[in-house]
Amino acid sequence: MKLLTGNSNKPLSKNIAKYLKTKLVNSSIKKFSDGEIYIEINENIRGNSIFIIQSISSPANDNLMELLLCIDALKRSSAKNITAVIPYFGYARQDRKVVPRTSISAKLVSNLITKAGADRVVTVDLHAGQIQGFFDIPVDNLFATPIFARHAKKNIKSKNIICVAPDVGGTERARALGKILNVELAIVDKRRPKPGQSKVMNVIGNVKGKTCIIVDDIIDSGGTIVNAAKALKDRGAKEVYVYITHGVLSGEAVDKIKKSVIRKLVITDTIDNHDKIKNVKNIEVLPISALMGEAIKRISNSTSVSDLFK
């Protein structure tokens, strides 16, 4: 087993390698003057099982192309098998046709990864679980819920907690954390006028006097979460914590969070946000490297990955 990293999240790749007590494959990933990406594997990997670690985060197009070229380079270098480890699976939010005459990018990206030569995919908290069915190769979808549960139990001292889904689509995710914490569930019903904007309409469930934990997979512009937190406070919530796996944090998202009623936003390091959030007191990052490293070890040893979540 060998690990190769792309450029999207080298700190995470190094931490995974440290967990597995191994080194990253020596490689060169550069750009030509016109922006084309150049990949070179600088050591022999013939006959080895290779795990390429690359998030499809901003700049999403460059990082996706880099992933595809890395897979192609590994395939042409006679790797025994190739596992694409994609901590943040970009383009997953376009998983169906919401309006006529649009692309289904999640399916297209799945096809590209498979066609490039990947034999398996490992990712974390897919935006929609059914994206696993877009692939004709095995997909391991890991969950950050146990990591969030441990953090919440240690750091939230309130005995009156309720888990909150920021929209109807996130109910299953919030319920999963609520089950571990043995607390009730509330749902924020919202309407989205246009992409990047949301308007909270109603809160289903009693949040008055309670410590609310909002749970979601992605925070992008921050509008949905900030509005949901405000709606909860307006309805009498004592305080609001937010647990989200992927901190996309585009545009003015960090400033919105800093100025919001959110006591603490907790994200994982599937996306490298070090420069964005340093010195921001109400944003905390939890490491995902141990979970991903253990999954890689189990795949390499042909043992169960699902047992991680039992």
The binding site for D-ribose 5-phosphate comprises 192, 216, 220-224
Rounded-to-integer distance, Cα 190 and Cα 193, Å: 10
Dump strand ranges (E) for 148-194.
Answer: 161-165, 184-191
3-class SS shares of the chain: helix, strand, coil, % to 5? 35, 25, 40
Q: Identify the residue whose tokens are 């921050």.
A: 222
Nearest CA among 58, 51, 59, 63 for reference residue 7: 63
Query: Would you name the residues annotated as active-site residues?
Result: 190
Using the Cα atoms of residue 97, residue 101, residue 103 and residue 107 in order, give the sign of their dihedral. positive
- Kindly state the tokens that stand for 238: 């004592």
In the DSSP assignment, the letter for residue 251 is T
The binding site comprises 34-36, 93-94, 127, 167, 192, 216, 220-224
Nearest CA among 48, 3, 49, 61 for reference residue 27: 3
The binding site for Mg(2+) comprises 127, 167
